[in-house]
Structure 1
Amino acid sequence: MQQTTNTILMIRPINFRMNEQTAINNYFQEDLEIKNAQINAKAQVEFDAFVEKLRAVGVNVIVEQDDKLLDTPDSIFPNNWVSFHKNGDVGLYPMFAENRRKERRDEVFIRLEKEGFKIENIIDYTSAEDEGIFLEGTGSLLIDRINSKVYCALSARANEELVIEFCEDFECTPVIFVANQTVEGNRLPIYHTNVMMCLAEKFAVICLNSIDDKKERKNVIKNLKQDGKEIIEITEKQMHQFAGNMLQVQGHDSQRYLVMSKTAHDSLTQNQIATIEKHCPILSSSLETIETCGGGSARCMMAEVFLPRV
């Protein structure tokens, strides 16, 4: 099993803007006082520059265009609706925001098959939407593929029963907890696990202070240490700069990179940077518009492709 992949699927935005339906519980989103067309144009510039940086180090980036007719403001974050696995399985996930459900498109699978990947089986959890329960892909599920574990912070977008069902289907052990952030003086659940935690091959970047329950925090630390992961702790303030929203990928000659936004990179201390760079170089790109309006960052934009080749 491998934890990192060389192939990433990304969706180029057409109608990107602040999504009013996700702003309810994504406290990272802010309203920019400029027209949506300008926001989308800026997001496209950031997207293209990011793709170029990934390709420059040898990451195989498959860019699929969004469909203008669907009006899907968050399509730039495909990792929430789909996951691609080594055995040819594809996971399809139930989405909290109704306008995000239209992001699930067969064209994406057709494109991957054209690129030489084999899809054996689709495991579809989307009927849970009818019951008002959700699990937003690898936004919610941090999969330790080598140690067969799944880390998940419960929220309105990550239902515990569904997490357990996923773990049964994919033969993983769940490590479940609640991660909170302070919003206007209240501790409220963080909408996605991958905002407060990043799991790489030999280390984890995590905002441990967001796990208020001491028992749950201890359990997360125990599991990470058990599997030999170095823990790189970030503060809640750094988490708000998207320092938890990172992904380790492979470039030329299987060289690993930790990918993050410029905002996240700028928020890290010299010590944290040195600890990460002990394991692999950092690759960062400016994603300011996408982060401000979308409330997601570099990791959310990349759907890892682990599918077997034909």
Structure 2
Amino acid sequence: MTGESLPAVSGGASPEHDDMLWFAEQFDRHRARLRAVAYRMLGSLTEADDALQEAWIRSIRADSTVIDNISGWLVTLVGRVCIDMLRARTARRESLMGTTLPEPVVSTGESLDPEQASLLADSVGLALLVVLDSLEPAERLAVVLHDMFGVPFAEIAPIVERSPEAARQLASRARRRLRGTVTTPDADLARQRKVVDAFLAATRAGDFERLLTLLDPAIVLRVDPGSRPWVGPTVLAGATDVAGHISTHAIRFARLCSTALVNGAAGVLAASADGVLAVAGVTVSGGRIIEIDLLLDPERLAALHIATGS
């Protein structure tokens, strides 16, 4: 469904046909917002599109005459689908080890294309999605729908099978868990690019001392290797350890790296003639890199759409 309209409706002019046509029109009208909701909930464009497809199927079983606010109704419908998907994912992950990062939105251009810009409104960086992924499904839904999309707690409550006050408490608990863990990146994209370019130059040179000057002392490096063989920790903290790891291990493919836009911020794309090798979301704060989220999973990278931007 990425970038596509929902299925066209054909047939006679029956009431059911009119309902399906109306729902199809409303889905198309609100698709960008619904996809943004699903991406914040799931951290995956592929799963977000799956969620919208499932929501569309559910919508055509509904009675349009009882819907007062179609925009809000569609958002809560997508929320219901997403929380079901999150709960299923949580059950699957109980047997998995290691770090699983969200799916990044990547562009090689100077700016995001219109669809990406709509998807990433309000600065949904990769680091924020990592933190949201640490929440329980009900907490994530409450804080995403209420704080990011303005859905009243009275409409969130039935989705999480709680009272409106309990839904409010879920969002409050989520905010407490998020507080102090979400880093505000430098707003100036050109400044971010300058830092990332310097980081890549130091990496190519294996310059440990230069890397130390570019990394925040409290930097965190997260690595999602997927099925790719990986030696070492998937989470590393502290400038000395991160600089040592990068100057030792990343120098081999640093020449294949270039600066790209990753979730609207300066990041890194590593590619060869065989395809994409890695994507790194980089958070620059106070002129230094404070977070690096490195996706190495070959299956997910092979399916990644890289926009050219403008």
TM-score by length of 1: 0.29
More strand by share: 1
Question: Quick one: higher RCO (CA 8 Å, sep 6+), 1 or 2?
Answer: 1
Structure number with greater Rg is 2
More helix by share: 2
TM-score by length of 2: 0.29
